[in-house]
Amino acid sequence: MTFDERDLISRSRSGEIEAFDLLVRLHQDRIYNLAYRITGNREDASDAAQDAFVRAYQALPRYREDAAFSTWLHRIATNAALDLVRRRPASTHGELHPEVPAGDNLEAVVDRREITRRVHAALGHLTVEYRTAVVLRDLQGLAYGEIARILQVPLGTVRSRLARGREAMRAQLTDLVSAEG
C-alpha cells in the first residue's frame, strides 16, 4: 500500500475523515513514541498523542506545506505532551525509572530491551527541556533545524540543550557506556 501524503492531506482538509484516519495510522507510532518519551507514562502518552492528532485535524487548514507534515505533527505533539507534563508536574516517571535490579549481569544489561528500559528511566531524570531536546534528536532522529522550529528556539539553544542533555544521559548510563565502549 502506498499513499500519497499530499493527497491525503488535501482530502483531509476538505473534511474526508477516512483520509485523515490513514494519516493517523501512518504517523501514530512515531507520535506515540515521542509523547511517551516526553511524558514518561503510557496513559499520558496516549492522551497527548490523541490530543496532538485532534489538534492537527483542526489546524490542518493552516498547515502550509513549507515544512514536512511529520515535522509539523512533531511540533503539535511536542506541545501537547509538554502541556500534559506541565499540567501534571506531580506525575512521576514511574515507568521510566524502575530500580535497576541489583546484581544484574552485563549480558542481560546489554540486551536491547534492557537498554530501552534504562534509557527511558534515565530520561526521567532530565529536566523537561533537556529531555525534549534529546528525545527529538537522538530518539526521534530530527535535524537541528527541525528541532529549532518545533521548539521555537534558536539553533544555538538547541545545541546547548542537547549537549547538556546528552551529558546528563551519559552520567545516568555510565555503566552501559563503559560496557559498550
Where do contacts with another protein occur on this chain (CB under 8 A)?
15, 17, 20-21, 24-25, 28-33, 36, 42, 46, 49-50, 53-59, 62-64, 67, 71-72, 75-76, 79-80, 83, 112-113, 115-116, 119-120, 134, 137-139, 141, 144, 149-150, 152, 155, 159-160, 162-163, 166-167, 169-170, 173, 176-177, 180-181
CB of 103 to another protein, least distance (A): 21
Residues 6+ apart with CB under 8 A from 97: 120, 121, 122, 124, 125
State the cell numbers at 92: 512521576
Using a 10 angstrom Cβ sphere, with 0-12 exposed, 13-18 middle and 19 or more buried, the burial of residue 132 is buried
Nearest to 120 by CA among 27, 35, 30, 26: 35
Residue 59's nearest CA partner among 79, 70, 73, 45 is 73
Q: In terms of CB distance, is 7 or 68 closer to another protein?
A: 68
Q: Which is nearer to another protein, 8 or 134 (CB)?
A: 134
> Which helix (H) or strand (E) segment is 71 a member of?
helix 69-87
Q: Is the dihedral of CA 145, 147, 150, 153 positive or negative?
A: negative
Cβ nearer to another protein, comparing 79 with 91 = 79
For the CB of residue 125, give the shortest distance to another protein in the complex, in Å: 14
Minimal distance in Å, beta carbon 71 to another protein?
A: 6
- Residue 131 cell numbers, joined: 529531555
Rounded least distance, CB 87 to another protein, Å: 11
In terms of CB distance, is 91 or 160 closer to another protein?
A: 160
For another protein, give the closer residue by CB, 8 or 176: 176
Residue 173 CB, nearest distance to another protein (Å)? 6
Between 8 and 80, name the residue whose CB sits nearer to another protein. Answer: 80
**Whether 169 contacts 126, CB under 8 Å:** yes
Smallest distance from another protein to CB 29, Å: 5
Grid coordinates of 68:
514536512
Rounded to whole angstroms, the Cα distance separating 162 from 165 reads 5
